[in-house]
Structure 1
Amino acid sequence: MTRTRLFVIAGVMLVAAVVCLVLGVMQISADQDVESYISGHYQQYGSDPNAVRYVCSGAPSNVADDIEDFQDSEARASDDNSEYLRYDDSIVVVGPDGDRPCTVRVEDINGGYSHGSYIFLGPGFHPGSPDSSSGGSSGGPGGVK
């Protein structure tokens, strides 16, 4: 083999190694869900059967932006000083809690507590309702029409 051919083979192997590294890093970050991200970036200060609470610093809207930089939410709304992020299996509430000016509350939608409690935020926040729902009810047993 010539020296040029060895350099070409080494170059192809280097490109393949970089591609494999990038794909591996992308897979690792894709495996992490929003709850894992929050637990890895914020300090937990409390929990109950319905939710886990974390301390954050800064404005709640900025913290919500940081969380959405990791993973876009399916829906987002604000109410007073709190930001609400709707994910596939959880609702994340970023806002004040008692004497804490910034907290992150992660509530499991499948836990049973949140069903319907965020309907005031509009479509996308009622667990089980599609984002395209009218948000109202027909009053009958069939629900939204």
Structure 2
Amino acid sequence: MSKGGLYLLAGALAIGGLVCLLLGMSLAAKDIRTHVAENYPAYSHGAEASSYECTGSPSEVADRLADYQRPEARATDRDVEYLRFDDDIVIVGPDNDRPCTIRVEDVRGSNYSGGAFIFLGPGFYPGAPAGGSGGSPGGPGGGK
């Protein structure tokens, strides 16, 4: 191969590598907490959860959120949608006089670790600490 051909090949490989890097960064950057905070107006912030106003039915909003980032588990209970992500639980439903709200709770918060969502079934059971009785991680995907 000529010297010019090698330069073209090196340039094409560099461009291909850059495209792969940017694509990988865009796929890895999906974070439901940030997405909700950037796209819905907040009306309440707490130590373990934040609440946002939304428009449409809770199921439609939950569908849009699940389209953005696929949840690990999803359940519905009395017209309230629950989406379980790696680090967060997203609850979409009415809140007092607001017909559609999004509540984002940290999985490590007291509600989840206390078993508040156990009634939703698989994917919503509280996890056990990694240093538990058997030394193996507990919780979703690795129950004790």
What's the TM-score, normalizing by structure 1? 0.74
Partner of 2:48: 50
Q: CA–CA distance in 2 between the matches of 1:69 and 1:11?
A: 38
Structure 2 residue 59 is the aligned partner of structure 1 residue 76: no
Q: Is the 8 A contact 2:33 2:104 kept in 1?
A: yes
Helix, strand or coil: the match of 1:20? helix
TM alignment of 1:85-124, pairs within 5 A:
85-114=83-112, 115-124=114-123
Cα distance in 2 for partners of 1:130, 1:28 equals 26
Structure 1, gaps ≥5 residues long: 1-5, 134-143
Cα distance in 2 for residues equivalent to 1:23 and 1:100: 42
Q: Secondary structure at the match of 1:120?
A: helix
The percent of aligned pairs where both chains have the same amino acid is 43
> Take 2:22 and 2:59, find their aligned partners in 1: how far apart are those partners?
32
Largest Rg, 1 or 2: 1
1:110 is paired with a residue whose SS is: coil
Residues 132 and 54 from structure 1, CA distance in 2 versus in 1: closer, same or farther, beyond 3 angstroms? same
1:91 Cα offset (Å): 0.6
Indicate the residue corresponding to 1:60 in structure 2: 58
Task: State the 1:123 CA deviation.
Answer: 1.4
1:37: how far off? 1.3
- Stretch moving more, 17-26 or 61-70: 17-26
Aligned counterpart, 1:127: 126
Q: Distance in 2 between matches of 1:101 and 1:22?
A: 42
Q: Is the 8 A contact 1:84 1:94 kept in 2?
A: yes
Task: Report how far residue 28 of structure 1 moved.
Answer: 3.0
1:26 Cα deviation after fit: 3.7
- 8 Å Cα contact 2:30/2:69 also seen in 1: no
Compared with structure 1, are the counterparts of its residues 36 and 11 closer, same or farther at alpha carbon in structure 2 (3 Å cutoff)? same
Alignment deviations for residues 30-65 of structure 1 (CA, whole Å, 9 cap, x no partner): 123111111111111112223100111111111111
**CA-based RMSD:** 2.7
